[in-house]
Amino acid sequence: MSEPLSDIHTTAGKLADLTRRIDEATHAGSARAVEKQHAKGKLTARERVGLLLDEGSFVELDEFARHRSTNFGIEKNRPYGDGVVTGYGTVDGRPVCVYSQDFTIFGGSLGEVYGEKIVKVMDFALKTGCPVIGINDGGGARIQEGVVALGLFAEIFRRNVHASGVIPQISLIVGPCAGGAVYSPAITDFTVMVDQTSHMFITGPDVIKTVTGEDVGFEELGGARTHNTTSGVAHHMAGDEKDAIEYVKSLLSYLPSNNLSEAPAFPEEADLATTDEDRELDTLIPDSANQPYDMHTAIEHVLDDGEFLETQALFAPNIITGFGRVEGHPVGIVANQPMQFAGCLDINASEKAARFVRTCDAFNVPVITFVDVPGFLPGVDQEYGGIIRRGAKLIYAYAEATVPLITVITRKAFGGAYDVMGSKHLGADLNVAWPTAQIAVMGAQGAVNILHRRTIAAAEDPDATRAELMTDYEDALLNPYVAAERGYVDAVIMPSDTRAHIVKGLRQLRTKRESLPPKKHGNIPL
C-alpha cells in the first residue's frame, strides 16, 4: 500500500486518506491486468456490477477487507477487496445482493477473506429476502491459503443450499470456474454462460490427459456450448457479457424477491374475445398424427404479446421450459416439442422439466403445461441410464407442486407419459384438451398389433385388416372424450379458446391454497 499523502491527524487529512483508500480499492487490480482482461473481450468485476445494477444504486460491502495469509510471500501483496466485489443495489428498482469475482487480483482465486465476503453478502441476502447474483470469473481455491480456502468453499455451498427455494440465486459465469468452485453455481437456480468466454469443469484438460489419456480442449470440455447442449449445467448461452447480464435481468423480472412474496406483476385485464390470432391455433395441428409442428406457436399465442423467455433452450429440446406473462402475471411454461424426438420424454427432458417445475413451485409461479407426448423414448441407453429413476423426478415435481397448475393437451398423451405431464391425477387444477387430443394407453398401430395379433396373422390381407382395426381403435379410444367422460379433463375446447380458458383459470386460481402433509423433507429419486 502506498504511503498516505496527507496528515491523518487532522479531519481534512483523514477525509483525504479515506478518499485515497477508496480509490486504491476501486483500482486494486493493476492497469496491466485490467488491460489484459479487456484484451480478452472481458469486463472487469466492477464494470459487470455497473451493468447489472441500476445506476447509482450499488452499495459496496467490505471494500477494505484484505487477506491475512503469510505463506509463500503473499503477505507482500495485500490489495483491498481481496479479489471479489460484494454489496447490494437494485435491478429495475428491486433490491438484490451481488458478488463479482475479480480476475485481475490473484486470478480471482478464493481465499479466506474473499470467501468470508461472499458468505457475508449471502447471509445478508437471506436476512433481507432478496435475490443474490454471483458473477464468477476466478481460478478456484487460492493455493497459498491452503485448507481455509476449501473451508470457505463449503461455507458458500451450505448457504447455497439453505437459500435454495427461499431467495432466487443466479450464477453468471464470465470466465473460468473450475474445481470446487463449480458446485456453487450447480446448486443455484439458474446458470448463465458466455460463448467462447466461460469454462466450467471439475478437472481440467491437463489432468484428464494425464489420468485418462483423453485429449480435450477447454471449450469442448467445459465451454458454454457444451454445458448448454450436452451436460445441461447451464440455462442460457449468451453471445457476450452484456447479453448475459440482460438475460439475468429478464429472469429476475419473472421471479419474486423471496418465497414469501409474489413475483412482480403488471396487471392488465385481457380482452377475452376470440381474435384472428387466436384462430390461428385452430389450424396448428396437422391431420397426420405423425407430422410435427412447433409447440412454440401454441405457447406464444397464450402469453402476453407472445413474449417468452426460454430456459435451457439448447438442452433436451424435446421439452420446452421458460417464463412468460398472462394478464401481466408471471407464469412458467412446460411443453413437449413435437419437432424433436416427436416430443418423447427422455432422461434429459424429464430432469429439465422436473427442475423447472420445482423452481416455479418454490417461488409461487403458476405452471402451464402443453402436452403432446407419445411416450418415453425407448432404448437400451435410456434404460441403462436410469430413465425409471430419473423420469420419476418429473412425477415427483408435479405431484408436490402447490402452485396453480393448468394443463392443455393438444394432441398425443399416451401411456405413462400422459400421467407424468401434469395430469389431473398428479394434482393439476385445470386440465383441458383440444378436439385433436388423443388420450390413450398407446397409439393405434401398437395397440392393434398387441390386441389383434392373431387376427391379423390369420387374415387373407393382413395390411388391410390392420388398417381397418386401427381405424376402429382410433374411433373408439384416440380422442379426448373418454377422458372427459371421467373428468380426467375438465373441458374439451376449441384451440382458439385456449387463451381465454387459461386467463379465466388463472384468475380463479389466484387464491388457491394447498398444503402438503407435514414432513422434514421428501425423498425425491435423485
Which active-site residues does the annotation give? 179-180, 416-417
DSSP 242-300: HHHHHHHHHHHHHS-SSTTSPPP----PPP-S--HHHHGGGGTS-SSTTS---HHHHHH
| CA-closest candidate to residue 431, choices 387, 389, 491, 483 | 491
Bridging pattern class, strands 319-326 and 309-311: antiparallel
| CA-closest candidate to residue 244, choices 205, 203, 176, 190 | 190
Q: What is the dihedral of CA 31, 32, 33, 39, to 10 degrees?
A: 110
DSSP 412-427: EEEHHHHHHTT-GGGT
Q: How many CA atoms lie within 13 A of 413 on its CB side?
A: 33
58 vs 61: CA distance, rounded Å:
10
User: What are 382's three cell numbers?
Assistant: 435410456
60, 86, 135 from 91: Cα distances, Å: 15, 15, 15
DSSP 368-397: EEEEEE--BPP-HHHHHHTHHHHHHHHHHH
Residue 223 has what DSSP assignment?
B
436 vs 274: CA distance, rounded Å:
19
